[in-house]
Amino acid sequence: MGDEAQQTDRRVEAFSPEAIRAQFPALDQAVHGKPLVYLDNAATTQKPRMVIDTVREFYERDNANIHRGVHTLSARASERFEGARERIARSLNADSEREIVFVRGVTEAINLLAHSLSADWSAGDEVIVSELEHHANIVPWLMLKERKGIEIKVIPANDQGELEVDALPDLISDRTRLVAVNHVSNALGTVNPVARISEIARERGVPLLVDGAQGLPHGPVDVQALGCDFYACSSHKVFGPSGVGALYARGDWFERLPPFLGGGDMIEEVRFDGIRFAPPPSKFEAGTPNIEGAIGFAAALEWADGLDWLAIERHEQALLERMTDGLSTIEGLSIVGQARHKVPVVSFLVEGAHPHDIGTLLDSMGIAVRTGHHCAMPLMQRFGALTGTARASAAFYNTFDDIDRFVDATKRVRDMLV
């Protein structure tokens, strides 16, 4: 995303939000008698028919456990699972599929890193996160603070919801073991200057982890261009199945790190007096993985890679502008997070109305938004939004009509509640 040189050769077909939308069966339904307007994409995305068909066909034809069987179905399932890994490596522009480990999602990816990276950390070592983080990139470090006495430092956000990256160099010390930030804030929609953060971290020899949960849904990601050491993503946020994701680790990181979970598939030899671990990526994939999920995830990325991302970026920016302009006309409504570089996510407050009531009334009009703290309580505290916010988050399959219906409904809700 934001990397235009890389996007120019991806224009496979002309972009039409209506044509894209028609590929998503779940979007074509009524809720409380009104056509569904789905604006909760930062929580999870809907799935295109191609992904649904891929998963169904896998169950109908190839389903078997992987890696252990000599029989035909197991060989097919293994081949498709490893093919999915190659596809994901290609989509992220990793050097090798050995840099990709399947996980349950971003949450597990960060827990894996917190466990494995910290094997040689001691009290007083530091992790730098940002004020914009999701709990998935806060809680594992807080748990390490309790267990090992590490320190957590925070890159502050300004009143627009942008990171004050200039504060980073002074936060880094010779005890800093990791910088960990999200690519895009799920709560405010801010796109963070990850390449710049990466430069600063690299100059000081500190590895960088990027929580990419909200990055990948809004454009191709190139881990080489970003310059990060680790990139974590969740399939369900990017039009694929739930319960699966990928962790990218540059070069020989996975060789050097100790494993996270122990069990079958991640070993070469087990004796009661010792173990030898399998080489990565197997070393980090104990137990039966989410095979159909990985295959569906790869299908989703393959499908998305064929889209015209320059046109999508323009469409998403137009959706954002329409949403921002529309909501700004509503009395007593304030938008939390007005960064210059945003994806179409708008968090807002209405004076005198509880976000939960706004969400419930919008639902009765067929409109799905999320309300609450968006798994980012420190960020909500930063903006004084103690009851959380209401958040509308669009994807490229949303249309101007969706946005207009949402804005009109929000106006009516405001008049009902205030």
Ligand X SMILES: *Cc1c(COP(=O)(O)O)cnc(C)c1O
Residue 107 interacts with ligand X (CB under 6 A)? yes
Out of 249, 323, 375, 390, the active site residue is: 375
Is the dihedral angle over the CA atoms 239, 240, 246, 248 positive or is it negative? negative
| Positions 294 through 313 that interact with ligand X (CB under 6 A) | none
Among 77, 100, 106, 257, which residue sits at the site for ligand X (rule: CB under 6 A)?
106
Stretch that binds ligand X, among 20-28, 55-63, 105-113, 122-130 (CB under 6 A): 105-113
Among 85, 87, 134, 153, which residue sits at the site for ligand X (rule: CB under 6 A)?
134
Contacts of 154 (CB under 8 A, 6+ apart): 128, 129, 130, 131, 378
Residue 182 interacts with ligand X (CB under 6 A)? yes
Taking the least distance from each CB to ligand X, the nearer of 161 and 366 is 161
And the tokens for 66?
Answer: 């992987």
Residue 186 interacts with ligand X (CB under 6 A)? yes
The answer to whether residues 368 and 353 touch, using CB atoms and an 8 Å cutoff, is: no
Coil vs helix vs strand at 211 = strand
Taking the least distance from each CB to ligand X, the nearer of 245 and 388 is 245
| Positions 3 through 42 that interact with ligand X (CB under 6 A) | 42
The answer to whether residues 150 and 144 touch, using CB atoms and an 8 Å cutoff, is: yes
CA–CA separation, 372 vs 349, rounded Å?
Answer: 11
Give me the 54-93 binding string for ligand X, x by CB under 6 A, dash otherwise. ----------------------------------------
For the CB of residue 107, give the shortest distance to ligand X in the complex, in Å. Answer: 3
| Positions 206 through 265 that interact with ligand X (CB under 6 A) | 211, 213-214, 234, 236-237, 245
For the CB of residue 189, give the shortest distance to ligand X in the complex, in Å. Answer: 11
Taking the least distance from each CB to ligand X, the nearer of 7 and 182 is 182
Among 20, 85, 92, 105, which residue sits at the site for ligand X (rule: CB under 6 A)?
105
Residue 114 interacts with ligand X (CB under 6 A)? no
Q: List, in sequence order, the alpha helices (H) in 40-167.
A: 49-57, 72-92, 106-117, 139-148
CA–CA separation, 177 vs 256, rounded Å?
Answer: 15
Taking the least distance from each CB to ligand X, the nearer of 112 and 291 is 112
The answer to whether residues 297 and 276 touch, using CB atoms and an 8 Å cutoff, is: no
Taking the least distance from each CB to ligand X, the nearer of 80 and 391 is 391
Taking the least distance from each CB to ligand X, the nearer of 40 and 62 is 40
DSSP-derived secondary structure letter, 354: -
Name the strand (E) or helix (H) holding 100.
strand 100-103
- To the query of whether residue 233 is one of the catalytic residues in this protein, the response is no
Choose among 186, 220, 209: nearest CA to 45.
186
CA–CA separation, 306 vs 71, rounded Å?
Answer: 34
Instruction: Give the type of residue at 269.
Output: E
Three-class secondary structure assignment of 169-200: HHHCCCCEEEEEEECECCCCCEECCHHHHHHH
For the CB of residue 137, give the shortest distance to ligand X in the complex, in Å. Answer: 6
Taking the least distance from each CB to ligand X, the nearer of 69 and 193 is 193
State the CB neighbour count (10 A cutoff) for residue 280: 21
For the CB of residue 224, give the shortest distance to ligand X in the complex, in Å. Answer: 22
Catalytic residue list? 375
Q: Which residues bind ligand X (CB under 6 A)?
A: 42, 105-107, 134, 136, 182, 186, 211, 213-214, 234, 236-237, 245
